[in-house]
Amino acid sequence: MIAGLLLVGTIPSATAVPASTQSNCVKCHFDIEDENGAAHQIGRDIHQQSGLYCSDCHGGNPALDDMDAIRASAGYRGVPDRLAIPAFCSRCHSDARYMHEYNPSLSVDQWEKYQTSVHGMRLAEKKDRKVATCVSCHTAHSIGAAKMPYSSTYPQNLPTTCGRCHADKAYMAEYGIPTDQLEKYTRSVHGIALLERGDLGAPACNDCHGNHGAAPPGIASLDAVCGLCHAIEAHLFDGSPHRPAFIEQGLPMCETCHGNHEILKPSDSLIGLAEGQLCATCHAADDQSKASADILKVSAGLRSLGNAADSAAHLLSLAGAKGMMITDEEFMLKEVGQIRVQARSTVHAFAADSLTPKVEEGLAKAEDVRKRAVKLIEEYDFRRFGLGIASIFITLLALGLYLKIRRLG
Least separation in angstroms between CB 322 and another protein: 10
Least separation in angstroms between CB 343 and another protein: 12
Q: Is 260 helix (H, G, I), strand (E, B) or coil?
A: coil
Least separation in angstroms between CB 325 and another protein: 4
Comparison of 134 and 373: residue with beta carbon closer to another protein? 373
Least separation in angstroms between CB 302 and another protein: 17
| Residue 14 neighbours by CB under 8 Å, 6+ apart | none
Least separation in angstroms between CB 239 and another protein: 16
Least separation in angstroms between CB 402 and another protein: 6
| Residue 253 neighbours by CB under 8 Å, 6+ apart | 219, 220, 221, 222, 223, 226, 237, 243, 246
What is the C-alpha separation between 41 and 287, in angstroms, rounded?
A: 66
Least separation in angstroms between CB 404 and another protein: 6
Comparison of 67 and 325: residue with beta carbon closer to another protein? 325
The candidate with the shortest Cα–Cα distance to 279, out of 262, 263, 291, is: 291
The candidate with the shortest Cα–Cα distance to 19, out of 27, 30, 29, 28, is: 27
Least separation in angstroms between CB 342 and another protein: 7
Comparison of 97 and 334: residue with beta carbon closer to another protein? 334
| Residue 41 neighbours by CB under 8 Å, 6+ apart | 139, 141, 142
What is the C-alpha separation between 63 and 20, in angstroms, rounded?
A: 8
Q: Which amino acid is at 86?
A: P
Q: Which amino acid is at 135?
A: V
Q: Which amino acid is at 148?
A: M
Least separation in angstroms between CB 264 and another protein: 16
CB of 285 closer than 8 Å to CB of 292: yes
CB of 58 closer than 8 Å to CB of 67: no
Residues at the contact surface with another protein, assessed by CB under 8 A: 199-202, 227-232, 323, 325, 327-328, 331, 334-335, 338, 341-342, 345, 383-384, 386-387, 389-391, 393-398, 400-405, 407-409
109-138 exposure pattern, b = at least 16 Cβ within 10 A, e = fewer: ebbebbbebbbbebbeeeebeebbbbbbbb
Helix axes 231-238, 242-249, angle to 10 degrees: 80
DSSP 145: -
How wide is the angle at C-alpha 291 spanned by C-alphas 289 and 295, nearest 5°?
A: 125
CB of 166 closer than 8 Å to CB of 176: no
Comparison of 67 and 394: residue with beta carbon closer to another protein? 394
| Residue 93 neighbours by CB under 8 Å, 6+ apart | 99, 108, 110, 111
143 burial (CB, 10 Å; 0-12 / 13-18 / 19+) is buried
Comparison of 69 and 403: residue with beta carbon closer to another protein? 403
Comparison of 60 and 227: residue with beta carbon closer to another protein? 227
Comparison of 123 and 343: residue with beta carbon closer to another protein? 343
Least separation in angstroms between CB 319 and another protein: 12
Comparison of 72 and 390: residue with beta carbon closer to another protein? 390
Q: Which amino acid is at 30?
A: F
Least separation in angstroms between CB 295 and another protein: 24
Comparison of 169 and 407: residue with beta carbon closer to another protein? 407
Comparison of 259 and 386: residue with beta carbon closer to another protein? 386
CB of 332 closer than 8 Å to CB of 369: yes
Comparison of 273 and 339: residue with beta carbon closer to another protein? 339
CB of 336 closer than 8 Å to CB of 362: yes
